[in-house]
Amino acid sequence: MKLSELAFERQDYAYAFLDEFAKRELRRKILKAIAIPGYQVPYASREVPMARGWGTGGLQVSLALVGVNDTVKVIDQGDDDSVNAANLRRFIARMTGVKTTTDTLAASLIQSRHRIPEELLNERQVLVLQVPMPEILSSIEPSYARAREMHSDGDYALLWLGLYEDLVKYREVSYGADYPVLVNGRYVMAPSPIPRFDTPKLHQAAHLTLLSAGREKRLYAVPPYTDVYPLEFEDVPFQIEDQRGWRDASTGAAGKFMSEIPQDGGGSSYQLSDTGLKQKLERQMAGEEIEIGATYFDDDTNFYITGFLKGAS
């Protein structure tokens, strides 16, 4: 028997754009990342028809995972309709023929930049986060070799010192997004620039989170039901951005992450950053029968795992 008889016939286009070798490499690296939660696994990072920095890392992971039965949702800062999200979604759909959706509940694969949806993700869903800077230690240790050594020693003293310095200087921790988290009690990782509001959603989450940086060629994972704790001093608890008192202008929804919209008069109005949820709420208000899932935070910004946020105001 000849090798050519065993192999698939050569095709100009591969399913999901990446060739089978690229996808196999990615899947192996993803498995390794899942096996070592929070550990950054280097990967080849192929060329895709999109500039580095526009979500090529997330895209490659999505392409390696997506199958004909998937339904894909892509968001950018919570928004399904931003140019970047729309481009990525259209590309994935064209290269795979999968269905797309803006409804978090209907999606099996969600690629996102900077947000985790407000509705609870479940065990059958995969969240792919686009990562600009995977190395949480890069701001304090310019040498990647040294940073890797620090990870292997579990030496995160400089991160703690950074928190100490913030508290001394500003009386609060200055990390906005990308707040460092300890995964599975072992590796500290950059959760990608999700707001602090989204950070607790990673803790003991039912879904699998994959984080991938195309330019930096690293991917890492938070497997389902894994401990993810923000770095916090015992006596200075981690705090999420305060969203209290803000309501979505059209639906009145509260206790979720809001985008501020400056008004002509100088004031601000607010709207849900999660536009998929916003649309569903609007349709519900218009009388449509529509399922809204349980959310990580209730209307009073109480987190669904009671006691996890010690600093909950």
Length of the chain: 313
Query: Which amino acid type is present at position 262?
Result: P
Nearer to another protein, 2 or 169 (CB): 169
Interaction residues for another protein, span 205-244 (CB under 8 A): 233-236
Nearest to 104 by CA among 134, 86, 78: 78
Nearer to another protein, 159 or 202 (CB): 159
Per the listing, tokens 């999700």 go with 194
Interaction residues for another protein, span 163-202 (CB under 8 A): 164-165, 167-169
Distance of CA 271 to the CA centre of its chain: 20
Query: Which amino acid type is present at position 169?
Result: K
CB atoms within 10 A of CB 187: 19
For the CB of residue 279, give the shortest distance to another protein in the complex, in Å: 43
Q: Does 160 bind another protein (CB under 8 A)?
A: yes
Angstrom distance (rounded) from CA 117 to CA 279: 13
Angstrom distance (rounded) from CA 100 to CA 109: 9
For the CB of residue 228, give the shortest distance to another protein in the complex, in Å: 17
For the CB of residue 114, give the shortest distance to another protein in the complex, in Å: 29
Q: Does 155 bind another protein (CB under 8 A)?
A: yes
Nearer to another protein, 171 or 244 (CB): 171
For the CB of residue 61, give the shortest distance to another protein in the complex, in Å: 33
Angstrom distance (rounded) from CA 170 to CA 194: 22
How many residues bind another protein, per CB under 8 A? 15
Angstrom distance (rounded) from CA 310 to CA 254: 21
Q: Does 308 bind another protein (CB under 8 A)?
A: no
Nearer to another protein, 139 or 302 (CB): 139
Kindly list the residues in this chain that would bind another protein in the complex (CB under 8 A). 149, 153, 155, 157, 160-161, 164-165, 167-169, 233-236
